[in-house]
A and B are shown apart, each in its own frame.
Chain A
């Protein structure tokens, strides 16, 4: 069963790294959609279903917090598991993102292996 993913981050370098981890993870991937901010992500989600969203917090146009708020408010989207990947490891931010139904929070810096483990957990696949 191939999973559809979405990566939301304003850094092309970080998007490239995350995509590389996804490709090397051994998880069966269908499509991997990329967005540079929350608004682009919502536009893509209007046209494509995904099984998991990996999103940054600090982004221009629409940040991760507002993006999660919009996902929460949408019946169609609110149950998609979200992994937040962010430099902001403050208790305050983590708590806010969890209240907005982020399923998991990964602080930068992180190793490729830890990212793979988190995705496996959220997708319910065996390592």
Chain B
């Protein structure tokens, strides 16, 4: 499967997840890799399978907060704790990664590690998710952006 096809799967799985469990649809979908502005939440995980690899989601903090409120059904976004926002961001990465890998290899088993979410301050460049030339997919939303990245291979 070539990079364009993987991007399509990533975009599709991401949008389906955002609509189904986060009641959101992006304004723009692209391959853009530019760091979203401001503070971020970055959630990454690795997967064992054929092939193994890594996956991550970088969210603008306001997007992470909004997604957490939508997922948990919370009417007051400001009442959410940083831990809740981080956990939901990790779960978002987990769900999208699983959906993409299922579409890629529906006959093969894969095991996902538990996602590790971290907060990244506004003046911190954040994880170098572009290293190793992953396939990326960017969703632009009114409050900010989500960037997904997927790379295959050990040591990816």
Does A touch B (CB under 8 Å) in the complex?
Answer: yes
B84 and A107 contact, CB distance less than 8 A: no
Q: Residues of B within 8 Å of A, CB-based: how many?
A: 29
Q: Which residues of B contact A110 (CB under 8 A)?
A: 20-21
Contact A12 B102 (CB under 8 A): no
On whether A90 and B21 interact (CB within 8 A), knowing A13-B88, A14-B91, A60-B114, the answer reads: no
Indicate if B72 sits at the interface (CB-CB under 8 A).
yes
Nearest-neighbour CB distance to chain B for A24, whole angstroms, equals: 9
> Contact: A92 with B21, CB < 8 Å?
no
Q: Which of B16, B20, B106, B114 makes the CB contact (< 8 A) with A90?
A: B106
Q: How far is the CA of A37 from the CA of B34 in the complex (A)?
A: 37
Q: Given A11-B94, A60-B114, are A109 and B73 also a contact pair (CB < 8 Å)?
A: no
Find chain A residues with CB under 8 A from B107 CB. 90-92
CB-CB < 8 A to B90: which residues of A?
11, 13
Closest to A96 in B: B109
| Contact of A76 with B by CB under 8 A | no
Interface residues of A in 79-96 (CB under 8 A from B): 86-93, 96
In the complex, are the beta carbons of A88 and B91 less than 8 A apart?
A: no
- Where chain B touches its partner, the secondary structure class is helix
Q: Report how many residues on chain A are interfacial, defined by Cβ distance under 8 Å.
A: 25
Q: Which residues of B in the span 2-31 have a Cβ within 8 Å of any Cβ on A?
A: 16-17, 20-21
* B71/A17 in contact, CB under 8 A: yes
Q: How far is the CA of A108 from the CA of B100 in the complex (A)?
A: 11
Contact B109 A13 (CB under 8 A): no
- Contact check, B21 vs A109: say whether CB atoms are below 8 A apart: yes
CB-based contact A11/B99 at 8 Å: no
A-B contact pairs, 19 of them (CB 8 A): A11-B90, A11-B94, A13-B68, A16-B72, A17-B21, A20-B72, A58-B114, A88-B98, A88-B101, A88-B109, A88-B112, A90-B109, A90-B110, A96-B109, A108-B21, A108-B99, A109-B21, A109-B99, A111-B21
The 8 closest A-B pairs by CB, nearest first: A87-B98, A89-B102, A109-B20, A13-B87, A109-B17, A13-B91, A13-B88, A109-B21
Chain B residues with CB under 8 Å of chain A are 16-17, 20-21, 68, 71-73, 84, 87-88, 90-91, 94-95, 97-99, 101-102, 105-112, 114
